[in-house]
Amino acid sequence: MSETATEEKVTKKAAKKTAKKKTAKKTAKKTAKKAAKKTAKKTAKKTAKKAAKKTTKKAEKKDYKLVVVESPSKAKTIKKYLGRGYQVVASNGHIIDLPKSKLGVDIKENFEIDLVPIAGKKAKIERIQELSKDADEIFLAPDPDREGEAIAFHLKEVIGKKKKVRRVVFHAVTKTAVTKAIENPTELNADMYDSQKTRRVLDRLVGYKISPILWDKVQRGISAGRVQSVALRIIVEREDEIKAFNPEQWFSIHGEMSKDNKLFEIKYYGETATKKNDLTEEKEANQIVSDVKGKDFKVVDVKKRERKQNPTPPFTTSKLQQEAANKLGFTAKRTMMVAQRLYEGIATTDFGTVGLITYMRTDSTRTEPEAMASLRDFIKEKYGDKYLAPNEISHSKKKKEGKVQDAHEAIRPTSLEHTPDKLRGDLEPDEQKLYELIWNKFVSSQMSQAIIDQTAVMYECEGHFFKANGSIIKFAGFRTVYLEAAAEKRSRKGGNDEDEDVKPSGELPLIEVGDTMKAKKDPESLEHWTSPPPRYNEASIVKTLEEKGIGRPSTYASIISNIQDRGYVEKIENRFMPTELGIVVCRMLIESFPDVMDVQFTASVEKLLDKIEDGEIKWKKVLKDFWSGFEKTLEKAKEEMKNLKAQEIPTGIKCHKCDDGEYIIKWGRNGQFLACRNYPDCTSTNDFKKHLDGTIEILPKKWFRDNCPTCGKRLEEKKGKYGRFVRCEEYPKCETTLPYTVDVTCPNCKTGKFAEKKSRYGKIFYGCSNYPDCETAMWTLPKTYDCPSCGHGVMGVRETKRDGKHLQCPKCRFKVPWKETPFASEDDE
């Protein structure tokens, strides 16, 4: 083959190769194009589908009804009941109110009110407005009381007039109650809102007009309140009664009898069998004891009777607060907080999320017919026919001068299926205790009477008469389930309703008239002194406020809380005692504002608020009438109220620090104190106590364990609004002020000490002095002691009825008996 032919062959092969490559490239391009087109189509389809879904979802989202309630927990519960098609949002209480920075009431313009959004509620208002725009229907469902009605009106205002809004009211957060309320909406109650506005404006006028006068005359930061100041007056007047009380001596004579191996007590009754005699002379008591010693006692009368005790009605708000205080040791505030949670809904294992009690702000004892029938069936099934009252008991509350809020039922369980036993483990300890109290009270309210056999035996000896009482429960009836705190106390002490002075001895042996017997233990005389009236506790102050018509049951907790927070009242050993500041402010207010501080006047205002709610009187007329008298009193008080700040009372006591100084009584932010007249040259100050006879006792200073880190002088323990603190003895020359710390090193940061602090609710706790770098805190007094269980270096001092005084580890809760600790002989700081 020639060279040319070979070249041609090679060229042809190369051309074929190039052509194949080109074809492969073209095919690859076509395939890529096709794949890209396919992918693009798929992506477009997906995007279209997503967009369509979004549009559908949006359209679905717009198709809803809006329900606005007060609290988030209630919103959560109601949302579960109503399901799809409903949006439920919480307002978290009031959304608008009078401004804090100014009066907010234009008196000249016929009491026009300036309402502004509450701080921090702007986002909440915008959320409600946003949801309202697309809602088909809007249901306003705040609590069924005056405050709830005001919230409903405020919500309507921020939603706007274009939308149709309806009011729904339910007295229990159950599926039945909520569904029924939504199906039967009502209109907003303007009269109820007017009543709330009147109360709010009256409170604002009193608070914002009187408080500045107190700032000028007493100290900055204190305040007065329309209802709280009257509650303070009740506590101060009780303290005056106690101070003015003169104890009187009296005597009782007790002996012991025995028959058929049964011991029982006899007590001196009088010189006749018909009239009781009080022994006030020791000589007379000793003579009687001498007369009857070793002599025979003759039975002159035996009375037997059967007494029937009726069950009491279910709880009203006031009665719940009283019984929770007496039986559980709860404050009114704690009771209402726990009751609120039980009402709004609890997540339970067997019943889902459900409201366990009916509305807890009520003074009605009424029970709905359906619930009544259910209760009577429950008693019959669980306890039997004999424990069920033969006829339905109507516990209708007698209408006093004030209004009975009968729109709400008594406080009761929402369903008798929700027994306390079935809820055990679902409820917090406080919730379980309060729920059991409400449950037992409700169940007992339709049970049969308790039957009590009572025996009274009268003895005569040497012309002196003695009495023995016996009492047995023949049939427990409703007492099987519930006994009032007062009756329970009497029962424990062995008293009874008829004659509390004669102690019953259970069942007496068979004794007949004419029987003669000698005393197993000869009667002896006991000396007693009459006691002053007791200071108020949580239960008795609530009862007194209710009886005197001051405030409403729903406000008792805040009234008590306010006078404590302002430093006017202290709680010592569970009793309310007015502070020096409280007494002084109370006296000044009574003197300058007799109407505002008058119990009858305050009660009459509550009646006027009820009349406004019933549409009997216009709210602005009430405000005009009040202001016409109050304005004159204000002007007079500005001029005539004495100025405590400027007051200096000489004591005649020589200054302990300088040579020619004399102590004078001055008024400071924490009350009265002794200061040297030579201030500022002499800075000597002392706390003091004034005795009833007017003498002044200088209280010894309490020195802190460490010296002043600035000047080296001693640090003095002081008491302030937020608890104890320490200050240099040279104050104000040396301004060093430090928190009061316990000599226990923080186990976490190893450098800080535990500082004593007071929580916003007035409870003492101990936090590391290195806060906020170290957030270690304890509710109990810390002690350096290694926990035997987990090795934690600090344990807290606790004292309970069950365990007595002991140490408890804050980490693992391990307990160590107090006697086993090295602090057993120490006193707590």
Residue 359 annotated among the catalytic residues of the structure: yes
- Distance (Å, rounded) from C-alpha 758 to C-alpha 761? 8
Nearest to 408 by CA among 614, 179, 189, 171: 171
How far, in Å, CA of 123 to CA of 202, rounded?
Answer: 30
- Residue 673: CB atoms within 10 Å: 15
Contact 330, 434 (CB under 8 A): yes
- Tell me the DSSP string of 303-315: EEEEEEEPPPPPB
Closest CA to 634 of 673, 668, 589, 675: 589
Q: How far is CA 4 from the centre of its chain?
A: 116
3-state SS, residue 550: coil
Kindly name the residue from 81, 268, 359, 766 that is annotated as catalytic.
Answer: 359
Rounded CA separation 47/51 (Å): 6
48, 148, 542, 555, 604 from 403: Cα distances, Å: 64, 18, 17, 15, 12
Q: Which residues contact 515 (CB under 8 A, 6 or more apart)?
A: 298, 299
Residue 761's SS3 state is coil
In the numeric block, the tokens 């009833």 are attached to 692
Residue at token pair 């599926």: 175
Task: Write a three-state SS string for 122-149.
Answer: HHHHHHHHHHHHHCCEEEECCCCCHHHH
The CA-based diameter of the chain, rounded to the nearest angstrom, is 171
Identify whether the C-beta of residue 408 lies closer than 8 Å to the C-beta of residue 316: no
The secondary element (H helix, E strand) that includes residue 586 is helix 580-592
Give the whole-angstrom CA distance, residue 589 versus residue 224.
9
- Segment holding 179, helix H or strand E: helix 175-183
Indicate the SS3 state at residue 96.
Answer: strand
- C-alpha 311/C-alpha 482 separation (Å) is 9
Q: Which helix (H) or strand (E) holds 318?
A: helix 317-323
* Spatial separation of the C-alpha atoms in residues 218 and 588, rounded to whole Å: 10
Q: Which residues have CB under 8 Å from 570's CB, separation 6+?
A: 564, 576, 577, 578, 579
Nearest-10 crossing angle of helices 538-548, 228-244: 110
- What does the block give as tokens for 280? 């006030």
- Angle at which helices 580-592 and 190-217 cross, to 10°: 110
Directed axis angle between helix 556-565 and helix 538-548, to 10°? Answer: 120
Could you give the CA distance from residue 354 to residue 78 in angstroms, rounded to a whole number? 9
Pairing between β-strand 165-167 and β-strand 516-518 as defined by DSSP bridges: unpaired
Task: Return the SS3 of 769.
Answer: coil
Helix (H), strand (E) counts: the chain: 19, 37
Any idea which residues carry the catalytic annotation? 359
